[in-house]
Amino acid sequence: MTLIKSISGIRGTIGGAVEENLTPIDTVKFAAAYGTWLKQQRNKDNYRVVVGRDARISGEMIQNLVMNTLVGLGIHVIDLGLSTTPTVEVAVPMEHADGGIILTASHNPKQWNALKLLNHKGEFLNGAEGQKILEIAESNDMHFAEVDDLGKITKNDAYIDLHIDEVLDLPLVNKKAIEDANFKVVVDGVNSTGGIAIPLLLERLGVHPVKLYCDPTGHFPHNPEPLKEHLGDLAEAVVKERADLGIVVDPDVDRLAFMDEKGEMFGEEYTLVACADYVLSKNPGNTVSNMSSTRALRDVTEKHGGTYEASAVGEVNVVELMKKNNVVIGGEGNGGIIYPELHYGRDALVGVALFLSLLAEKKMTVSELRASYPNYYMSKKKIQLTPGLDVDGILNTMESNYSHEKLTTIDGVKIDFADSWVHLRKSNTEPIIRIYTEAQSHEEADSLADRFIAEIKAVANI
């Protein structure tokens, strides 16, 4: 059982001992720290926070604890109930709220839950803001409202529809071409809120959705991370239904992956590549993804005359660099599309609309579309270290050993070779080093990863 407190929020497993798991006491404490921090940002008479959750089993309990803690601080709550992460992000500025909380553990199994925290723009907090909330939680310096000043809870279940309205109003979403294409799509909603939002979006686009695991019970029918090894049922359904493609999202609908008409994965890394290809063809400009994302985005960006730059891993880092570079589209290689025209957050709904627009305009199958992009293959491995080892020292040595190569060191060490790259970064929560590699074949990517694992072991004497 686990409780992880970090600058990006608090996450853990349900049940067990206080301060070792995400118990009701830990939930209340962290929600109170966030509410206290929020009130410190602006001197106002009224404060408002948007709260939504994915469909996981513990969600209703955790949401009630969070909302009533905010009420106890004198903060008014807009309760979206079952929602998606990007929907809450869109709702915060639309409600002129002071912040938002999403209750989701993303792709983690059903025993996990988490509080993800937003600012008044509907964007994730930065490191300094997250650290301040951790400090407030540890200090217990929180003061609650008197009885006449308690907040109120207002339910609003319209925001998934409003979010879809915002997506459909985007100039680059080609609704007519999509409707004319008469697509048939199988949707794996992993029995969470994607099973609500994605079929609704498809119907509004004139697409025929076939629902697979779209009942928002929170009982995930398979590992909820949208990877090939978890999606055998989707592959079978796409072929059986003779569908044009399959769509799968994670439980909070900020990650998106596609499956072609043959039941083969389009490639989660290529979700952003395809959406960027479409957007850049209409609106040339620059792109950003994180350092562990595919080089194919750089290739597509340069094809359209733009410049690509990589950020440190983490959505907040991607967004910061996107704003700095004034990019037209960006995101993360795990299927996270960030389209600033709508909002600065990973959003599977906008990703679906842009991808289908591209597919409809090109009049080709999903497998043909995938074949039109450069072929890169990734390997993701890790090396377990003995607790107490100087991980930073190990990475510094690796940096020194490869100083003659093109290096990026804003987040661990990334080494760019002519036809491949390797990214070495330490975990913030475990004594491990993660090794991400990309090359022009699976064998080359795996071989490169194994080579660096051996080199790290030699440096660390393990």
Where in the sequence numbering do the catalytic residues fall?
106
Q: Are 12 and 21 in contact (CB under 8 A)?
A: yes
Q: Are 245 and 233 in contact (CB under 8 A)?
A: no
Q: Are 168 and 175 in contact (CB under 8 A)?
A: yes
Residue type, 108: N
Q: Are 414 and 310 in contact (CB under 8 A)?
A: yes
What distance lies between CA 203 and its chain's CA centroid? 24
Q: Tell the residue number behind the tokens 């509907």, with chain if given.
A: 122
Report in angstroms the alpha-carbon separations of 51 from 39, 193, 420, 448: 16, 14, 42, 44
Q: CA-CA distance, 428 to 392, in Å (whole number)?
A: 12
DSSP letters for 218-274: S--SS-SS--GGG-HHHHHHHHHTT-SEEEEE-TTS--EEEE-TTS-B--THHHHHH
Q: Are 218 and 56 in contact (CB under 8 A)?
A: yes
Q: CA-CA distance, 137 to 131, in Å (whole number)?
A: 10
Q: CA-CA distance, 301 to 279, in Å (whole number)?
A: 10
CA 405, 409, 413, 414 dihedral sign is negative
Q: CA-CA distance, 48 to 95, in Å (whole number)?
A: 8
- What are 104's two structure tokens? 């989701």
